[in-house]
């Protein structure tokens, strides 16, 4: 299944890159506030689904653009182009994300950056890799030297004040904060030790599933901002190295009361 996920991600990535210099001619639809979809998103998703269904015709699929189709036992969770806004502006930070779950537990995850040809993979219990080389979260032990990633609330502005207060309190001790605009890739960067922690509100299953497995399999931790395990339901997440993760939760929790 991991091999099929990799094949699907690479094929979709080729389509995404071929169209990258023609974005001015793309038809763009608006799904919501600051939430866009293009023909490239849909084409990449179709390729991924076709690749999966040829190999596993009876598996279920949850895809960002086409929704859910029922199936047996396994569920494939697909984001064909995470970072569409970046893609439309020529900002070089976007990826393909594919996860495979069984009875609600993620078994395999793939995050593919087609620009840099970086393939992040993980299988439950087998560790995580970048281009087939084992990766681990960083050994950063506190916020003072940590580089954090985040994402601003772009569609639900009702929590902007809470978010900005958290941003302020984390930015004071941290070495820096980056907002790159592709959550799946941010999570992969935590797994690879490029970021020491990450937090964001309001993400979807297809943003999180593969990246969360990468983090867990590389020695990191992930939870909801209050420390609970309902991050998949809420879409609100905090992730990082064990000690940075703990320090982030301690900083964030008072703002949730």
Kindly state the DSSP code that residue 34 receives in the 8-state scheme.
T
In tens, the pLDDT along 102-143 reads: 998 999 999 999 999 999 999 999 999 999 999 999 999 999
Q: What is the pLDDT of residue 21?
A: 78
How far from the centroid of its chain's Cα atoms is residue 190's Cα? 11
Q: What is the pLDDT of residue 34?
A: 43
Q: What is the pLDDT of residue 144?
A: 93
pTM score, two decimals?
0.93
196 versus 68: the higher-pLDDT residue is: 196
Q: What is the pLDDT of residue 19?
A: 84
Q: Where are the beta strands (DSSP E) in 153-196?
A: 176-178
In tens, the pLDDT along 199-239 reads: 999 999 999 999 999 999 999 999 999 999 989 889 999 99
Give the separation between CA 120 and CA 224, rounded to whole angstroms. Answer: 23
pLDDT at 150 exceeding the cut of 90: yes
- Phi and psi at 200, nearest 5°, equal -165, 155
């Amino acid at each position: 299944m991991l091999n099929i996920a990799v094949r699907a991600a690479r094929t979709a990535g080729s389509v995404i890159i071929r169209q990258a210099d023609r974005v001015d001619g793309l038809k763009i639809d608006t799904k919501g506030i600051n939430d866009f979809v293009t023909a490239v998103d849909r084409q990449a998703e179709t390729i991924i689904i076709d690749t999966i269904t040829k190999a596993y015709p009876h598996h279920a699929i949850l895809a960002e653009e086409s929704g859910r189709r029922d199936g047996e036992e396994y569920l494939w969770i697909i984001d064909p182009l995470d970072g569409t806004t970046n893609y439309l502006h020529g900002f070089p930070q976007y990826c393909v994300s594919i996860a495979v779950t069984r009875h609600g537990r993620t078994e395999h995850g793939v995050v593919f950056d087609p620009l840099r040809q970086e393939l992040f993979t993980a299988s439950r219990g087998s560790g995580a890799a970048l281009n087939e080389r084992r990766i681990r979260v960083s050994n950063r032990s506190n916020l003072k030297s940590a580089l954090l990633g985040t994402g601003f609330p772009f569609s639900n502005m009702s929590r902007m004040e809470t978010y900005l207060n958290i941003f302020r309190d984390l930015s004071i001790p941290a070495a820096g904060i980056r907002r790159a605009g592709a959550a799946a890739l941010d999570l992969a960067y935590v797994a690879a030790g490029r970021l020491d922690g990450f937090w964001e509100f309001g993400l979807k299953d297809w943003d999180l599933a593969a990246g969360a497995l990468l983090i867990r399999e590389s020695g990191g931790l992930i939870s909801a901002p209050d420390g609970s395990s309902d991050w998949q339901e809420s879409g609100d997440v905090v992730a990082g190295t064990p000690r940075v993760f703990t320090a982030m939760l301690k900083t964030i929790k008072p703002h949730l009361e």
